[in-house]
Structures are given as C-alpha cells and as structure tokens.
Amino acid sequence: MRDSIIYLIGFSGTGKTTIGKELSKILDIPFLDMDSKIEKLQNESISSIFKNLGEDQFRKMETDIIRSVALVSNQDSRYSQVVSTGGGVWSNPENREIMSHSGIVVCLNASPETILMRLEEQHANEGSVADRPMLNSGQNSLETIKKLLEVRYKDYIKADFIVNTDYRNTLDIAMEIVDLLK
C-alpha cells in the first residue's frame, strides 16, 4: 500500500512534531515521533546519543525505525499513521527508498530565520535546542542552519509534497496537507 504512512520530513524547527500531532488528530490515526522513540528506546537524549555513540550509530537507529515502521500497514484505512522524522533522515538514500515505497513524504519547509526563531523559542521554553546536536557546532546558529539547509535541500526537494510553514498556524498547515493527500 504505497500511501499507508504519512512521513513528515524537513529541517529541525519546521514543525514536524507539532503538525504531525495535529494531522494525526484530524485523520484519527496514530502519531510517531522518531526522535522521541529513539530517546525512549535508548533511555537518553538525542544529544547524549550523538555524544556517547556518535552520529553514525544514531543514523543507524533512525534507519532501523524506518524499516520497522514501513512494515506496518492498516488495510482498513488509507493512512495507517503519521511519522515525524528527524531532520537528517531523508538524507540517507536507503531511508528515502523505504519511505518512498511505504508512504507519502511531505517536506515541511521554513526560512532559516524562522527556523532559528522557533528553535530559540523552544530553547527558552523547554531547553530543547541542546537536543539538536547538528546545530551545536559553536558557530553562528543562523549560518549553521543555512549551511545544513543548503546541503539537505537537494534531498528535501525529492519529497512528494513541499509545504511552507513560515508565519502559518498549525491547523492551516495540517489542513493543507490533508488537501494534498486527497
């Protein structure tokens, strides 16, 4: 079933988790946040996993979850679940192949300035920027975001749909995705 899973991809701070939860409510299907799943399985934060096990091991964990998620399908409904991925999942060709064959891939996009603003707000509210290891380079965060976006852009544009999240509310974005899925 090609479109049984709705995968949300995109850079950190584009709204994958927030919009994924809203989308799962609207469609009345389960929601899975991959980073949360990895943290729960490892019993440590993403930044700790990066520090203790390295990026390669973390990326392997992401691929293992993608494989297991792709095996799940619900024949009773068109979509079985919404999956919010980590920002770098789609950069792995194996993950792209699995995801493309097991679901619809929606890339959430935002400007570097919007991403930085959202990450700073999350950090102020939750301290969660510390759990975004790819952004903890000690450099100017805006420049780091721009560089990573530039590297990942060539992969992000391969998604089935691209939805901009700049200056938009969660419900509007989720409803746009629902419309795209029709």
Model-level pTM greater than 0.85? yes
Q: Which of 3-12, 56-65, 106-115, 127-136 has the lowest mean pLDDT?
A: 127-136
Q: Is residue 34 within 8 Å of 89, Cβ to Cβ?
A: yes
As a whole number, mean pLDDT of residues 4-11 equals 95
pLDDT digits (tens, 9 = 90+) for 62-106: 999 999 988 865 555 577 899 999 988 999 999 999 999 999 999
Q: Which of 118-132, 144-158, 162-176 has the lowest mean pLDDT?
A: 118-132
Burial code of 127-136, b = ≥16 C-beta within 10 A, e = fewer? ebbebbbbbe
- In terms of CATH architecture, what is 4-172? 3-Layer(aba) Sandwich (3.40)
Helices (H), 28-161: 34-42, 46-53, 55-70, 93-102, 112-126, 141-156
pLDDT at 50: 85
Q: Which of 2-6, 15-19, 159-163 has the lowest mean pLDDT?
A: 2-6
Q: Which of 55-59, 136-140, 168-172 has the lowest mean pLDDT?
A: 136-140
CA atoms within a 13 Å half-sphere pointing along the CA-CB vector of 59: 14
pLDDT at 147: 93
pLDDT at 136: 54
What is the C-alpha to C-alpha distance for residues 66 and 95, in angstroms, rounded to an integer?
Answer: 7
**CA distance between the termini of the chain:** 15
pLDDT at 121: 83
pLDDT digits (tens, 9 = 90+) for 110-128: 999 999 998 888 777 765 4
